[in-house]
């Protein structure tokens, strides 16, 4: 599983990081970023929850 952040949509709410800080972080500009290229299997459920709960729908599953 892979995900990316649509920089045009992200507003830096940080919900993704709260749900899965092993995969998401907030960068120096205040927006989300993905920390890994491939989502480890043990984090897939939390990442899917982050995708579903992003208020801007900025997390894109690839």
pLDDT tens readout for residues 9-23: 999 999 999 999 999
The pLDDT of residue 49 is 98
pTM above 0.75, yes or no: yes
- Which residue is listed with tokens 């992200």? 10
Contact 19, 53 (CB under 8 A): yes
pLDDT single digits (tens) 29-49:
999 999 999 999 999 999 999
Architecture of domain 3-61: 2-Layer Sandwich (3.30)
**Please, what is the Cα angle at 49 between 34 and 36, to 5 degrees?**
20
Return the structure tokens found at 38.
Answer: 């491939």
pLDDT band at 51 (very low <50, low <70, confident <90, very high): very high
Structure tokens at 59: 């997390």
Residue 1 pLDDT: 96
Half-sphere exposure of 52 (CA within 13 A, CB side): 7
Angstrom distance (rounded) from CA 37 to CA 52? 20
């Amino acid at each position: 599983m892979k995900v990316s952040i649509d920089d045009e949509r992200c507003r830096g709410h940080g919900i993704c990081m709260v749900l899965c800080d092993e995969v998401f972080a907030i960068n120096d500009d205040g927006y989300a970023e993905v920390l890994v290229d491939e989502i480890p299997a043990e984090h897939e459920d939390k990442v899917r929850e982050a995708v579903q709960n992003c208020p801007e729908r900025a997390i894109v599953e690839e």
